[in-house]
Amino acid sequence: MKEKYLLPDQKAAARRSRTAAEKEYGLFSLSEEAKGLGQGKKYMVKTYGCQANVRDGESLSGMLEEMGFERADRPENADVIIFNTCAVRRAAEEHVLGEIGSLKHMKLAHPEKVIAVCGCMAQEEDVVSEVLRKYPQVDLIFGTHNIYRLPELLLKASEGKGRTVEVFSEEGRIIEDLPVRRTSRYKGFVNIMYGCDKFCTYCIVPYTRGKQRSRDREDILKEIENLKSQGRKEVVLLGQNVNAYGKDLGMTDGFSDLLEACAETGIERIRFYTSHPRDYSATTIDVMKKYPNIMKSLHLPVQSGSDEILRRMARGYTAGSYRKLYDDMKEKIPEITFTTDLIVGFPGETEEQFQQTMDLVDYCKFDLAYSFVYSPRSGTPAAKLQDDTPEEVKKQRLYRLNERLAMHARENNEKYRDRIVKVLCEGRSKKNSEIWSGYSEENKLVNFSGPDDCEGKIVDVRITDIHSFTLDGMAL
């Protein structure tokens, strides 16, 4: 029987209409057959990439648990293994493909196991064709727009009649009411919007996640109230460009209003990712200042310090306007911490343009930065640009940049010595089971010693030692 695959189409995925996204309530349901599928079986969801993907992974887990599956800690113990993938850089993709490759023998020995690939890689034409050609162990591929279809897709894949591929290349809807199994007991991720319309020339996200679409404020606030009533201390508002919240619903300064409403719920801590410098509004800074439960840390990706590179990236701001935004915020909230994302080796980047990035880093002295070598993404405009900088030169630039970033981060941390910071204790440190670990209000990772009952509490910690990206301390 010839299989009918619904394959990704990146051109179709890049189309944008002016109509508001459809909202779907109660779309998820379980047929009697699907309900029984997980009885006595185990699942594993391996998530890569950003927090939006982590939140999707929590919905996948939630659906699987409603189907009766239990969680497994490794692939050998799981009947269903789902790779919830990220497509932002080739290195991330190769890592996942390597992991899928390593399951080949397990699948041969246990053909009844189901191996699935979803997330952003599943929305890419090249990747799906590569998986179909080279990874026969994969039974099911589905995309970011149809995770609600997981029960039906699993039923189909479990019949063992060939592979199932169902990827929608659409602008995207807003799908409410999916079950969720949260990863953290103390924090909760809350999507405030999906997708992205910015089309930065290097970036695959607008093709894999559909158009920018904001959730209704009532649905967001309901989710936060719910998290609060479960005793959670922190919510993290998510979107590729949170400052544009509500623009698709006709609001002018939707994010500031939403942030204020979230703060009014009284949840102890609020953070938000990611802000785009282009849409940042001054009123957001005022709201941040007004409410003590909005954490004073900002992730504001700059990507480059060169105006020419920023222009070719289509970021819509200059190094100068970024510095001004930075200065305004530091002036209004002097204790604010800043983090960013940086790309080196964008096509045609000269040594001088790279130096401009170093200059910007010296100016802003970020507390932390995620830095990457540019990775061409098939179907994006930048992938067609001529790029004659050798890979070795790019790696050297990344190395120099990272040295500089670590130096500033460490210098920033000096001021925390002997200071008392408030840490949401999330559990034992990964490296040392005697030590507690959690994030301070400033978003510093703090490892500390303290009494046995710290977990899940906001603890006062005196800082005794500092490193570039972490602080050590003792609970008071």
Going by C-beta distance under 8 Å and a sequence separation of 6 or more, which residues neighbour residue 101?
A: 135
Peptide bond into 208 cis (omega under 30): no
Please, what is the minimum distance in Å from the beta carbon of residue 120 to ligand SF4? 11
Of 199, 291, 363, 469, which lies in the binding site for ligand SF4, with binding defined by CB under 6 A?
Answer: 199
Distance from C-alpha of 169 to C-alpha of 175, rounded to nearest angstrom: 16
Degrees, nearest 5: CA angle 132-134-135: 75
Beta bridge mates, 445: 439, 470
> Is 356 an interacting residue with respect to ligand SAH (CB under 6 A)?
no
User: Where does this chain bind ligand F3S (CB under 6 A)?
Assistant: 49-50, 52-53, 86-88, 119-120, 204-205, 208-209
Of 57, 119, 143, 206, which lies in the binding site for ligand SF4, with binding defined by CB under 6 A?
Answer: 206
b/e burial code for range 12-30 (CB count within 10 A of at least 16 → b): ebbeeeeeebeeeeeebeb
Q: Which residue number is nearest to ligand F3S in terms of Cβ?
A: 49
52 touches, from ligand SF4, ligand SAH, ligand F3S, none (C-beta below 5 to 8 Å by class): ligand F3S
377 touches, from ligand F3S, ligand SAH, ligand SF4, none (C-beta below 5 to 8 Å by class): ligand SAH
> Is 317 an interacting residue with respect to ligand SAH (CB under 6 A)?
no
166 or 279: CB nearest ligand SAH: 279
Of 198, 232, 271, 404, which lies in the binding site for ligand SF4, with binding defined by CB under 6 A?
Answer: 198
Rg of the Cα atoms in the chain:
23
Of 209, 377, 397, 404, which lies in the binding site for ligand SAH, with binding defined by CB under 6 A?
Answer: 377
- Stretch touching ligand SF4 by CB under 6 A, among 196-204, 364-372, 394-402, 417-425: 196-204
* Structure tokens given for 135: 């990874």
Site for ligand SAH in 134-163 (CB under 6 A): none
Please, what is the minimum distance in Å from the beta carbon of residue 69 to ligand SF4? 32
Per the listing, tokens 């990747």 go with 127
Of 201, 241, 243, 357, which lies in the binding site for ligand SAH, with binding defined by CB under 6 A?
Answer: 241
Alpha carbon separation from 76 to 80, 107, 134 (Å, rounded)? 10, 10, 21
Going by C-beta distance under 8 Å and a sequence separation of 6 or more, which residues neighbour residue 320?
A: 307
Amino acid at 469: F
122 or 302: CB nearest ligand F3S: 122
Distance from C-alpha of 248 to C-alpha of 171, rounded to nearest angstrom: 13
Please, what is the minimum distance in Å from the beta carbon of residue 413 to ligand SF4? 28
> Is 150 an interacting residue with respect to ligand SF4 (CB under 6 A)?
no
172 or 345: CB nearest ligand F3S: 172
CA-based nearest residue to 257, from 227, 234, 290, 304:
290
CA-based nearest residue to 189, from 380, 50, 47:
50
Please, what is the minimum distance in Å from the beta carbon of residue 345 to ligand SAH? 9
Please, what is the minimum distance in Å from the beta carbon of residue 301 to ligand SF4? 7
Of 203, 242, 270, 325, which lies in the binding site for ligand SF4, with binding defined by CB under 6 A?
Answer: 203
Distance from C-alpha of 328 to C-alpha of 341, rounded to nearest angstrom: 20
> Is 209 an interacting residue with respect to ligand SAH (CB under 6 A)?
no
* First and final C-alpha spacing in the chain: 68
Per the listing, tokens 């996204």 go with 21
> Is 88 an interacting residue with respect to ligand SAH (CB under 6 A)?
yes
b/e burial code for range 297-329 (CB count within 10 A of at least 16 → b): bbbbbbbbbbbbbbebbebebbbeebbebbeeb
Size of the site for ligand SAH (CB under 6 A): 17
Instruction: List interacting residues with ligand SAH (CB under 6 A).
Output: 88-89, 202-203, 205, 240-241, 274, 276, 301, 303, 341, 343, 372, 374-375, 377
Instruction: List interacting residues with ligand SF4 (CB under 6 A).
Output: 196, 198-200, 203, 205-206, 240-241, 276
